[in-house]
Structure 1
Amino acid sequence: MPVAFFRVFALLWLLPAAVFAQNNVPAAPRPAAPTLTWLEQLVRESKVLRLHNVGVCLTEVATGQQLFGLNEDRYFTPASTMKLFSLYAGLKLLPDSLPSLHYVLRPDTLLFWGTGDPTLLHGDVPSRRAFTFLQSRPEQLMYAEVPTVAAFGPGWSWDDYNYYFQPERGPFPIYGHTVRFYAKAGQLMPRVLPRFFRPLTELAPAGTPNPAEDHVHRPVLENRFTVLPSTGSWVDETPFRTSPALLLQLLQDTLRRPVLLAPLRLRPQDSVRTLRGLPVDSLYRRMIRVSDNFLAEQLLLLCASSLSADSLSTARAIRAVQRNYLRTLPDAPVWVDGSGLSRLNLVTPRTLVALLLKLHQEVPEPRLLGLLAAGGGQGTLRRVYRPVAGQPWLWGKTGTLTNNHNLVGYLRTKSGRLLAFSFLNNNHVATTGEVRREMERILTLVRERL
């Protein structure tokens, strides 16, 4: 066989490999961030932190230069720090005031449906705008249920259904989807709000065990509430199980007028209108400062309503924000819900810092810092990171699940530099308090030395 044949055969054999190698040349490595040896030593040698997975990223806001990184390109469970993504979604997709409901006026009928706005008669960010509107209209009220997400998000813990931090999601929330109980010392039955649920509340028999020290228990599939033996005064919230039928009952009970259920079938001549509610910052501030899961979930539904008036999809809102506004992040987040309750969420420390930089570029600094919890001020940071000479120096968002505690935000150093940081702790066996105190010790030294 001619030698030329073997040469051609060898060339054809090697050509695909050469082309593959040419098309898959690894990107040039990024310049390494300056090494803060003392900070790396603090984290690596910490008796508390060295037993679990830690990721830290520290960047100067003014220049965008990364000052320190430890496992900053690895994925972590972010917990409630994911609410910063929900905040960014709202800033991009919502107007200055919340859309409270959509409606269509027809002869003698007002057809209305939900946008996901959680503020209707909510206990902490209450709005009566939709209530007053619906109560005053002369037309027959017809409520339409729109396609929406499941009551619970993907990856949520099912057995947290009884606790205040995991109410069900929905298109037209009322009372924050929770029942509030107000007990006074020496009083057998607490005050129940809304009053609709009083007949559904009973006292547990004397001597009923209460190992979890809960105040109220609800069966997973029923709206029956049992007040457990307890002493002293207390206030508690328990989510109720939602349904279109229950919503109609609650609306009729509070509006004092009939409300009928109707399919959402829009006609060509229908003009869809939107009722505006509270300023958006009233929702953002409460959601971020106290880490309100319900508000965060409903915020993504509000974002979805801005994309389509007749369906509410968390996934659609997430896709739109990632595709249109977050394509330049260093590492694409795995983002599945609005609150961070899901352990399916994954994000890297440097991506969280990149999001902080985008927020700072696009939102005036006083407004942005005013939305976050401030050290020693309010919310989840009220007992830590105390102000110095009366001035706060750390603003951020915490994220806590069992065995995970994270903090993301901005830090003002003693020299006046503003730093964006993420400090993530996953799979720790120490108590959350121990991890929190060690983070505070280290971040205080960052403030002093940079």
Structure 2
Amino acid sequence: MSLRFLVLFFLALLPLMGAAAHSDEEAAIDRGHRGKGPNWLERMMDKSEVLAKHNVGVCITDVATGEQLYGLNAERYFTPASNMKLFSLYAGLHLLGDSLPSLRYVVRHDSLVFWGTGDPTLLHGDVPSRRQFDFLENRPEKLFYCQIPCVEPFAPGWTWDDYNYYYQPERGPFPIYGHTVRFYAKAGQAKPRIAPRDFAASVEPAPPGYRSSDHVRRAVLENRFFVLPFTKNWIDETPFRTSPELLLKLLQDTLHRSVGTAPWRLRPQDSVRTLAGLPVDSLYRRMLQVSDNFLAEQLVLMCSTKLGRDSLDTNRVIRLVTKQYLQDMPDAPQWVDGSGLSRLNLVTPRTLVALLLKLHREVPEPRLLSLLAAGGGHGTLRRVYHDASGPWFWGKTGTLTNNHNVCGYLRTKKGNLLAVSFMNNNFLQDTGDIRKEMERILKEVRERM
């Protein structure tokens, strides 16, 4: 065989060798994104028809050893929805101490000047507190409220037409009644009962031809509430538009005493005091278990009071916590708000797992698990992730239209505790189908890992 023939033969093989190498490289990359872990789990994920047409990311890590047991697109960014509340929890744990800062005030001669810290519990329907009420009601001084600079009522990336729904009240420095109006309808009655009663004059029957699938619709830019005809009992919450003027009216009507206004200005001689509010866990537990967006947003604003006294600024908290406490995350989160309502939030499954590991190291396990929703027990996981022995998953769900995620702690049959992040973005199926498939797969993880 001539040398010339060998050279030509080798040159002819080069494209095929290159294609094969390229194919092997693509396959390696594909395997890396598809899954790294037990073969049985990889097969379950590969063969799942429910998960086949949307973006899926999973990370499973042993809490005791820190070893990653399975990863699927764990390094890719997803829209986390309410999984972001775990970041807000982490901020609160590092900045707030044992109790909520309820309000701040200074005494100037015969006057008490007070302002908000973001504490959402004043006359809140689910986490009610009378600390501020009793304090202001019983002070002998004249009362003057001043409006501390605060973030906008809606965060970047929130859906504007969700303004009418209970899960998106406006943020603010001095919330009252959870920034919502509650409606209690009873069959046979012409009008629902309303709390607070201050809004009764702003409620009217929906005009003829008014169409809506909701019980109550508020006008977009004003506090006018239209009640649709009803024949059954129901309870509904609708956010109201906030303003310093409305807050002042509600405070005066509630306290039954005059409250004036004062400009926002601190003097060098002012001795600023903080009124302690409820224990922090009472807010953390409600925020995490039922995924309360309003409490999460206000939590981050309360954290802001620990970083300065000139404003309430969500971004300030995010910058500090990210820089000071989360530098060791595998992938830096894009963290925009406290609740996860914003679609601008982005995080990877392995970063959520890293946060779960940090929380477990820093918070005693019984306390940590008691704050989270529990499978078959309470909160957003009450109907899933349990068996005859009780709950085996404790965590946080995250749901927006076309997105559903869960992250938390899974106890295996062997007794091992695993940190899990399971993320689903951009699907068109019913969320219930996604939820059932996640539970089916995680049940096998519980049985076999």
In structure 2, what is the Cα distance between the partners aligned to 1:341 and 1:230?
30
Q: What's 2:200 paired with?
A: 198
* Aligned partner (choices 164, 181, 201) of residue 162 of structure 1: 164
Q: What's 2:398 paired with?
A: 399
In structure 2, what is the Cα distance between the partners aligned to 1:231 and 1:165?
25
5 Å-filtered alignment, 1:429-440, equals 429-440=428-439
Deviation at 1:387, TM superposition (A): 3.6
In structure 2, what is the Cα distance between the partners aligned to 1:111 and 1:318?
29
The answer to whether residue 122 in structure 2 is matched with residue 120 in structure 1 is yes
In structure 2, what is the Cα distance between the partners aligned to 1:206 and 1:396?
45
In structure 2, what is the Cα distance between the partners aligned to 1:207 and 1:146?
43
5 Å-filtered alignment, 1:200-219, equals 200-205=202-207, 208-210=210-212, 213-219=213-219
In structure 2, give the amino acid aligned to 1:361.
R
5 Å-filtered alignment, 1:327-366, equals 327-366=327-366
In structure 2, what is the Cα distance between the partners aligned to 1:301 and 1:111?
20
Deviation at 1:229, TM superposition (A): 1.6
Q: What's 2:264 paired with?
A: 264
In structure 1, what is the Cα distance between the partners aligned to 2:380 and 2:71?
25
Query: For each residue in 1:153-206, what CA deviation from the matched residue of structure 2 results, as whole angstroms up to 9, or x when unmatched?
Result: 000000000000000000000000000000111111000000100111111245
Q: Is the 8 A contact 1:164 1:178 kept in 2?
A: yes
| More displaced stretch, 264-273 vs 118-127 | 264-273
Share of identical aligned residues, percent? 72
SS of the residue corresponding to residue 311 of structure 1 reads coil
In structure 2, give the amino acid aligned to 1:40.
E
In structure 2, give the amino acid aligned to 1:444.
K
Q: Is the 8 A contact 1:207 1:229 kept in 2?
A: no
Aligned residues: 417
| More displaced stretch, 92-101 vs 257-266 | 257-266
Deviation at 1:267, TM superposition (A): 1.4
Q: Which consecutive residues of structure 2, in runs of 5 or more, have no partner in the other structure?
A: 1-31
The answer to whether residue 416 in structure 2 is matched with residue 425 in structure 1 is no
SS of the residue corresponding to residue 406 of structure 2 reads strand
In structure 1, what is the Cα distance between the partners aligned to 2:128 and 2:45?
43
SS of the residue corresponding to residue 52 of structure 2 reads helix
Q: TM-score, normalised by structure 2?
A: 0.91
SS of the residue corresponding to residue 59 of structure 2 reads strand
In structure 1, what is the Cα distance between the partners aligned to 2:63 and 2:211?
53
In structure 2, give the amino acid aligned to 1:97.
S
In structure 2, what is the Cα distance between the partners aligned to 1:76 and 1:439?
16
The answer to whether residue 280 in structure 2 is matched with residue 311 in structure 1 is no
Q: Is the 8 A contact 1:147 1:312 kept in 2?
A: yes
In structure 2, give the amino acid aligned to 1:345.
N
In structure 2, what is the Cα distance between the partners aligned to 1:243 and 1:448?
54
Deviation at 1:207, TM superposition (A): 5.6
In structure 1, give the amino acid aligned to 2:367.
R
Q: What's 1:11 paired with?
A: none
Q: What's 1:3 paired with?
A: none
SS of the residue corresponding to residue 307 of structure 1 reads coil
Q: TM-score, normalised by structure 1?
A: 0.91
The answer to whether residue 444 in structure 2 is matched with residue 442 in structure 1 is no
SS of the residue corresponding to residue 312 of structure 1 reads coil
SS of the residue corresponding to residue 249 of structure 1 reads helix
5 Å-filtered alignment, 1:41-440, equals 41-205=43-207, 208-210=210-212, 213-389=213-389, 391-440=390-439
In structure 2, give the amino acid aligned to 1:93.
L
Q: Is the 8 A contact 2:36 2:72 kept in 1?
A: no
SS of the residue corresponding to residue 252 of structure 1 reads helix
Deviation at 1:386, TM superposition (A): 2.1
Q: Which consecutive residues of structure 1, in runs of 5 or more, have no partner in the other structure?
A: 1-31
SS of the residue corresponding to residue 113 of structure 1 reads strand
Q: Is the 8 A contact 1:122 1:175 kept in 2?
A: yes
The 4+ residue runs of structure 1 with deviation greater than 6 A are: none
Deviation at 1:58, TM superposition (A): 0.2
In structure 2, what is the Cα distance between the partners aligned to 1:267 and 1:79?
41
| More displaced stretch, 261-270 vs 145-154 | 261-270
Q: Is the 8 A contact 2:36 2:42 kept in 1?
A: no
| More displaced stretch, 41-50 vs 152-161 | 41-50
Query: For each residue in 1:15-48, what CA deviation from the matched residue of structure 2 results, as whole angstroms up to 9, or x when unmatched?
Result: xxxxxxxxxxxxxxxxx99621111111122110
Deviation at 1:56, TM superposition (A): 0.2
Q: Is the 8 A contact 1:208 1:229 kept in 2?
A: no
Q: Is the 8 A contact 1:178 1:238 kept in 2?
A: yes
CA-based RMSD of the aligned residues comes to 1.3
Query: For each residue in 1:70-113, what CA deviation from the matched residue of structure 2 results, as whole angstroms up to 9, or x when unmatched?
Result: 00000000000000000000000001000000000111100000
In structure 2, what is the Cα distance between the partners aligned to 1:35 and 1:276?
48
| More displaced stretch, 246-255 vs 304-313 | 304-313
SS of the residue corresponding to residue 68 of structure 1 reads strand
Q: Is the 8 A contact 1:104 1:111 kept in 2?
A: yes
Q: What's 1:13 paired with?
A: none
Query: For each residue in 1:192-228, what CA deviation from the matched residue of structure 2 results, as whole angstroms up to 9, or x when unmatched?
Result: 0001001111112456433xx2010111110011111
Deviation at 1:298, TM superposition (A): 0.3
In structure 2, give the amino acid aligned to 1:169.
R
| More displaced stretch, 311-320 vs 33-42 | 33-42
| More displaced stretch, 32-41 vs 425-434 | 32-41
Q: Is the 8 A contact 1:102 1:309 kept in 2?
A: no
In structure 2, what is the Cα distance between the partners aligned to 1:88 and 1:361?
12
In structure 1, what is the Cα distance between the partners aligned to 2:427 and 2:398?
14
SS of the residue corresponding to residue 306 of structure 2 reads helix
Deviation at 1:230, TM superposition (A): 2.4
In structure 1, give the amino acid aligned to 2:381.
L
SS of the residue corresponding to residue 37 of structure 2 reads coil
